[in-house]
Amino acid sequence: MFNIQEYFEAATVEEAAALLAAHPGLTVIAGGTDVLIKMHHGQMAKAGLLSIRGIKSLEGIRQLEDGTIVIGALTTFTRIINDPVIRAHIPVLAEAAASMGGPQIRNVATIGGNICNGATSADSASTLFALNARLKLQDNQGQRVVPIQEFYLGPGRVDLKPGEILVEISITPENYRGYGGHYIKFSQRRAMDIATLGVAVLCKINGGTTFADVRIGLGVAGPTPLRCPEAEAYASGQPISAATIAAVGRLAVKTTQARTSWRASKEYREHLVAELTERALKAAVVKAGGREVA
């Protein structure tokens, strides 16, 4: 039995926004796989909940005419893994989603909840950082769109103003067309575990010989998921070679703020950043249509 003081359900985004405006202390709950566990562990003092799981318009994935992929905040991980649009255009997001929890959790956990929970270890977040995903937020005053990189403010803190809910995540075609991507989750167990480090790499190549663009999204390499601008800037225009890729891995460490936790020391995490960025970039090159780099 969870100690729930107040419980509301919304059937539409407008209803949710109105309820949040009227009851500012409510916590939004969707799949519940983070919120209920926090409650179980006594980490939530106030337990007034607003369930948004009945808002059908926030479920599912669609592709707009201009190619933009829109993922409803209530889309479950299982649905993302199996969705034909995701599998055809951004399979790296399906890989990341498949690494989260176990089947029973993926059947109910939502991508919107994964993001709004604000964890640096969120398996979908590093990939969405690399894809320059944009988040649409709505309250009873209207909507705004923020890049995911600006949404994360600190550990467990996101830029959701009182009364706002996340409604959708969009990825524009210039951020996925022509890119190959690869996600590596490093964890002690291959299922039901939280990442020691998560690495999502996207790359686009020029005529098979040089990098046109490289993007590196890291989870658990700092208080929030982050990108590696120095390494990315260096890679652009460089020949696709083992030397370039090793240098990108080393440079990636520069923008991290890893810390020591019981899962791993700072030094070990930094080692993982360099090593796994290299491995993920090598795999991404192949997926982008390039030749394998030994």
Partner 1 sequence: MLKKISFTVNDTPVTLEVEAGETLLEVLRNRLGYTGVKKGCGVGECGACTVLIDGTPVDSCIYLAVWAEGKKIVTIEGIARNGELSRVQKAFVEEGAIQCGFCTPGYVLTATAMVESGKKYTREEIKRELAGHLCRCTGYQNILRAVEKALNDQAQGGGSCASYR
Task: Mark the segment that binds partner 1 (CB under 8 A) among 115-123, 187-195, 231-239, 256-264.
Answer: 187-195
As measured in angstroms, the least distance from the Cβ of 34 to partner 1 is: 10
Q: Is there binding between residue 36 and partner 1 (CB under 8 A)?
A: yes
224: tokens are 């929030």
Q: Is there binding between residue 45 and partner 1 (CB under 8 A)?
A: no
Asked if 211 and 240 count as a contact pair (C-beta separation under 8 A), the reply is yes
- Contacts with 260 (C-beta within 8 Å, 6 or more apart), sequence order: 266
d(CA 224, CA 157) in angstroms, rounded, equals 9
Of 151, 168, 174, whose CA–CA distance to 68 is shortest? Answer: 174
Q: Is there binding between residue 7 and partner 1 (CB under 8 A)?
A: yes
Within positions 192 to 251, which residues make up the interface with partner 1, using CB under 8 A? Answer: 192
φ/ψ (deg, to 5) at 229: -60, -40
- Classify 187 as helix, strand or coil: coil
Within positions 105 to 144, which residues make up the interface with partner 1, using CB under 8 A? Answer: 105, 107-108
As measured in angstroms, the least distance from the Cβ of 105 to partner 1 is: 6
Q: Is there binding between residue 25 and partner 1 (CB under 8 A)?
A: no
As measured in angstroms, the least distance from the Cβ of 2 to partner 1 is: 4
34: tokens are 């983070």
As measured in angstroms, the least distance from the Cβ of 82 to partner 1 is: 11
Q: Is there binding between residue 33 and partner 1 (CB under 8 A)?
A: yes
Q: Is there binding between residue 44 and partner 1 (CB under 8 A)?
A: no
As measured in angstroms, the least distance from the Cβ of 104 to partner 1 is: 4
Q: Is there binding between residue 53 and partner 1 (CB under 8 A)?
A: yes
Task: Mark the segment that binds partner 1 (CB under 8 A) among 46-54, 148-156, 195-203, 272-280.
Answer: 46-54
Q: Is 43 exposed, middle or buried (0-12, 13-18, 19+ CB in 10 A)?
A: exposed
Query: Helix-strand-coil percent breakdown of the chain, rounded to 5?
Result: 35, 25, 40
As measured in angstroms, the least distance from the Cβ of 102 to partner 1 is: 3
Asked if 210 and 237 count as a contact pair (C-beta separation under 8 A), the reply is yes
49: number of CA atoms within 13 Å, CB side? Answer: 20
d(CA 55, CA 30) in angstroms, rounded, equals 10
Among 21, 22, 37, 64, binds partner 1 (CB under 8 A): 37
Q: Which residues pair with 211 in a beta bridge?
A: 205
Q: Is there binding between residue 91 and partner 1 (CB under 8 A)?
A: no
Of 118, 181, 110, whose CA–CA distance to 151 is shortest? Answer: 118
d(CA 225, CA 129) in angstroms, rounded, equals 8
Q: Is there binding between residue 276 and partner 1 (CB under 8 A)?
A: no
Among 10, 13, 49, 197, binds partner 1 (CB under 8 A): 49
DSSP per-residue letters across 175-243: GTTT-EEEEEEE-SSSSS---SEEEEEEEEEETTTEEEEEEEEEESSSSS-EE-HHHHHHHTT-B-SHH
Would you say 33 or 244 has its CB closer to partner 1? 33
Among 23, 25, 103, 289, binds partner 1 (CB under 8 A): 103
Among 1, 24, 84, 142, binds partner 1 (CB under 8 A): 1
By CB under 8 A, the count of residues binding partner 1 is 28
Chain residues in the site for partner 1 (CB under 8 A): 1-4, 6-7, 9, 32-33, 36-37, 40-41, 47, 49, 51, 53, 78, 101-105, 107-108, 190-192
